[in-house]
Structure 1
Amino acid sequence: MWRPETFRKVGIFFNVQVSNCRITLIVVGMGFSSFSESYIMGHTSAFVAGLFQEKEELQLTDDDISWIMSLMFASMVLGTLLATLITEKLGRRIPVVIFNIPVLIHWFMLYYGQNKYVFMVARLLAGIGFGGILPMIYMATAECSSPKMRGFNLAIITTGTTAIGATVGWNLAILLDWRTAALIGTAPTVISVIIPLFCVESPPWLASKGRFDECEAAFTSLHGLKPSAQKELQLILEVEKSKLSNSDKNTNTVSLIIRRLKVAASKRYFWNLMLLTNIITIYKMITGRILFGTYGMIILQKMTGQSDILPYTLAISGINIVGSWFTSYILKKVNVRSLLFPAGILNSLLLIGLSICLYVIPESYDNSLLVWTKVMLYIIHLSIVQVVLFPILEALPSELYPLEIRGACSTIVAFIGTVFIFVILKVTPAMFELLDTYGVFTTNAVAMLIFLLYLWIKLPETKGRTLHDIELNLKNEKCVFKDDNMSPELTKELI
């Protein structure tokens, strides 16, 4: 005969399973959005190469193709700005749905497009959707995950699904053609629109709006009644109630965001945080993934002297997919800093070694062993970037921004990053012409080592800490991470 204690244990078991299912649904939903966006990046390289091949038929110039390629990155900042305004009103789920719609339209425009203006508008729409979705999926995943699982869940979003999406997009565009691959790209985007409609809203966002009962219900549905979860919930409620009591009742979204930014800008931690996150963003952009996404096929063709690079792309794809899921598991066990810095140093050294090979070995030198040496160095470099560096650097800012200005901070950093990447993509052809491939790689490697030194000094460890713990400790530079919560007096003072 069952005792009351047995019924209680069974109830807890089923509660945990249901909670896990809800979190899994969020990760799967955000994962499909991440897959869709990385599919765009994988498709872009073949798309650009295809435009060069068809430029006479489509009446395109090299400058037209450069603009078509760059416009997506230019419009990303508009998407991030719109996301900041929309998420303040609608939360995290609905903006993901909204910003996937222009991505869906962009795929149809690429498939049917026959002139540069259609392609330019399509890429503008892709940038708006891309720029709006990325901060949303990182925020939603980070805010709905427990401290123990946050790194793992973010790794799935930034590493696992990203690697698969880029691989599928790139190889489909090579095996079929870029138009057919664009049509296939509509499928994951449609799924990305549907799944978030059935997900739980972010508990921290609900608390920041003063909807504390809904926050408590959402948090409990995601994390259950475990003591550690309830302790985190109480910290969220305490911090957000203190913020709410100290804020004015201005309901105008733009005015509220500006007021919060003014308050934050008067404090030293904000400028330290802006510098740190901008360094992270710029470092992420020069690691090599974006360069490979736009000029990868051209670089490989030049490096190998072959037009058929499918074996090399399959090798890169296989390593990236296997490695990405391995990294997701490793991030569950290992601190971020312990993984980031060794990988960053190794990546820069590999790039310098590759540059020396490219400089010493002439392109005309026909030796399969030497060609494979260059290609393997490049593949290992790309694998470290795709599997370790880019995912970590992509997810880190979403853990560092304070909740009340998280969207605004994302917009500021995205704007600076977008300007940087737009300039880089526009000057990259000239850099290749002036410095050659080995010169560009060497410049990137040296810059990455400098940024890595700064991050070694300034970047805090975030693994195993609640987002509110990270926020409060960043606001108090003298405070060291501790296992127990701060006193209510210190919490209120920092807020």
Structure 2
Amino acid sequence: MDSPILRQMFVASAPQLAAISIGGVVGFPNVILEQFKANDTTIQVDIHMASWIGSTHGLAGIPSIAMPTIMQWKGRKLSFLLCCFLIITGWILTYISKNVMTIIIAECFHGLASNSLIIVSFYTISEMIAPKYRMISMSFYAINQTFGMAVIGIIARYLHWKTVTIIMSVPIIVAFVTSCAWPESPSWLAYKGEYTKCEKAFKWLRGTDDISQKELKELLNAQRGSVKPKASARVLLKQIISRDFYVPCFHTFVILCAFYWSGIMVIFIYGPDILQRATSNSAAAKYGMISINIILYIGILTTTFLLKNFSNKTVLLFSGITSTVFLVSASIVTYLQSIGLLPSNSMLSLYCVVGFMLFMSLGMTTVAFVIPAELMPVKHRGLGGAVYVILLCLLHASSLKISPYLMLYVGLWGTFLVYAVNALVCMVIVWRCVPETKGKTLQEIEDYYNYGSFVRNPIENGVNELL
């Protein structure tokens, strides 16, 4: 592999393969909940157990806050290998399980590893891939994850869940083997003061052209000029109250909240029940879910072309606002059904849900994870990564745990309305506050939070330009 592009593609290939298996992990509760409800299954679940199966993935991920610390301590490569091993263990436990408790234990492994792997993969890609390829690489991670979700959602209608387990474990095994040949992240090596190794790894990945050399110089200068104090309560407090930490954390929360509390994961996991209630038609619910799985994948493929021609923030806002329109429409339709002005078997709500999933896939399902991974400065990625993971886990778990009871007590129309209001508020904050990250180096993004501009010293720079 003499070409730097090929070397970067090789490094990116392991996270892409892992993403397919992660998609299977995310969609697997939908598979087992549907198959466990069949009359011929020996494992039975009720609404309370179903809510635990659906939400365990998020709750179990909370201990993965330790993963960013491991990343800062031992590097990106070892962290990635550990995550892959845990996911493989989860698939093995799933395959041999004979009761709900074993399934939940396997879900704990999956939740812990997959929530960790998202942050490891995104940080690895953002640090090891050139800025002009970074966004497309991170987009393909989301594409492959959605592909895994779509595949598992479709094949589960025809194959036993244990067979599905074997199929979805193959990509993560290949990813584990591939990542053994990785170099270490140059950004991490510079952070640890290994400047010679950093330069060697950077040149292996990026080559020696002028743009790469400029970025390497900025990276080395930034890390050489930084002071790395010993860990203490005072240092931790100083880090937490620094602007380039708490502002990216707030922006991360808003973006992830827009994704999880829009209801996309709720529809994906509990979709058959939701569509059955909305249409009173089991056939429509079944084929509606197949359509949703296909649409998700097609939509996220289309996102790649949107991101090529438009800014990350524009794509995110377009996806969030248009999907909110369909959420409001779904709320109105199901409300009219609840008061008898529309028949209970009306297909309008199905069209609204499918439209919502389509426009969510056109940006939100990709950019909602990519932008937060780019916002946090390298020097804060230990604690910042922990915050990112906590937000992922809590928002994922809370949406899937609370939503079944929300639908039970306030109805479908009220649930859709809650999702719509949340999405609208989050999109307004994104529009007003979150910076654009497309084509920006990690150092430029850090400068934005420190100086309010992508230029390190905007006042001085303006004076120089005038002169």
1:126 aligns with 2:110: yes
1:419 aligns with 2:394: yes
State how far apart, in whole Å, the 2-side matches of 1:285 and 1:151 are: 21
Equivalent residue of 1:185, what SS?
helix
Taking the TM superposition and a 5 Å limit, the aligned residue runs for 1:384-399 are: 384-399=359-374
Q: TM-score normalised to the size of structure 1? A: 0.86
> Which of 268, 286, 306 does residue 261 from structure 2 map onto?
286
**Structure 2: 5+ residue stretches without partners:** 462-467
What is the letter of the counterpart of residue 359 of structure 1? Y
Equivalent residue of 1:64, what SS?
helix
What is the CA distance between 1:229 and its match in structure 2? 1.2
Q: Which residue of 2 aligns with 1:467?
A: 442
1:164 aligns with 2:140: no
Report the CA distance shift for 1:182/1:213 in structure 2 as closer, same or farther (over 3 A): same
1:143 aligns with 2:124: no
Q: Is the 8 A contact 2:86 2:110 kept in 1?
A: yes
| Deviations, residues 141-189 of structure 1 (Å, cap 9, x unaligned) | 111122222211111112x112211101111212212222122211112
Q: Which residue of 1 aligns with 2:95?
A: 111
Of the structure 1 ranges 378-387 and 409-418, higher mean CA displacement relative to structure 2 is found in 409-418
Report the CA distance shift for 1:320/1:266 in structure 2 as closer, same or farther (over 3 A): closer
What is the CA distance between 1:54 and its match in structure 2? 6.2
Q: TM-score normalised to the size of structure 2? A: 0.91
Equivalent residue of 2:157, what SS?
helix
State how far apart, in whole Å, the 2-side matches of 1:230 and 1:486 are: 21
1:440 aligns with 2:431: no
Q: Which residue of 2 aligns with 1:345?
A: 321
Q: Which residue of 2 aligns with 1:232?
A: 215
What is the letter of the counterpart of residue 171 of structure 2? P
Q: Aligned residues: percent identity?
A: 22
State how far apart, in whole Å, the 2-side matches of 1:300 and 1:84 are: 39
What is the CA distance between 1:191 and its match in structure 2? 1.4
Report the CA distance shift for 1:320/1:289 in structure 2 as closer, same or farther (over 3 A): same
State how far apart, in whole Å, the 2-side matches of 1:241 and 1:200 are: 21
What is the CA distance between 1:201 and its match in structure 2? 2.0
Taking the TM superposition and a 5 Å limit, the aligned residue runs for 1:61-140 are: 61-79=46-64, 81-140=65-124
> Which of 260, 275, 286 does residue 300 from structure 1 map onto?
275
State how far apart, in whole Å, the 2-side matches of 1:121 and 1:225 are: 48
How many pairs were matched up? 457
> Which of 331, 346, 360 does residue 307 from structure 2 map onto?
331
What is the CA distance between 1:86 and its match in structure 2? 1.7
Q: Which residue of 1 aligns with 2:464?
A: none
**Structure 1: 5+ residue stretches without partners:** 1-13, 491-495
| Deviations, residues 112-157 of structure 1 (Å, cap 9, x unaligned) | 2112221121111111111211100000111112222221111111
Equivalent residue of 2:156, what SS?
helix
> Which of 135, 138, 144 does residue 154 from structure 1 map onto?
138
State how far apart, in whole Å, the 2-side matches of 1:424 and 1:366 are: 26
State how far apart, in whole Å, the 2-side matches of 1:326 and 1:432 are: 32
Q: Which residue of 2 aligns with 1:218?
A: 201
What is the CA distance between 1:234 and its match in structure 2? 0.4
Q: Which residue of 1 aligns with 2:228?
A: 247
Q: Which residue of 2 aligns with 1:46?
A: 31
Report the CA distance shift for 1:97/1:231 in structure 2 as closer, same or farther (over 3 A): same
Report the CA distance shift for 1:68/1:470 in structure 2 as closer, same or farther (over 3 A): same
Q: Is the 8 A contact 1:68 1:120 kept in 2?
A: yes
Report the CA distance shift for 1:167/1:259 in structure 2 as closer, same or farther (over 3 A): farther
What is the letter of the counterpart of residue 51 of structure 2? S
What is the CA distance between 1:60 and its match in structure 2? 4.2
Q: Is the 8 A contact 2:115 2:393 kept in 1?
A: no
State how far apart, in whole Å, the 1-side matches of 2:6 and 2:361 are: 28
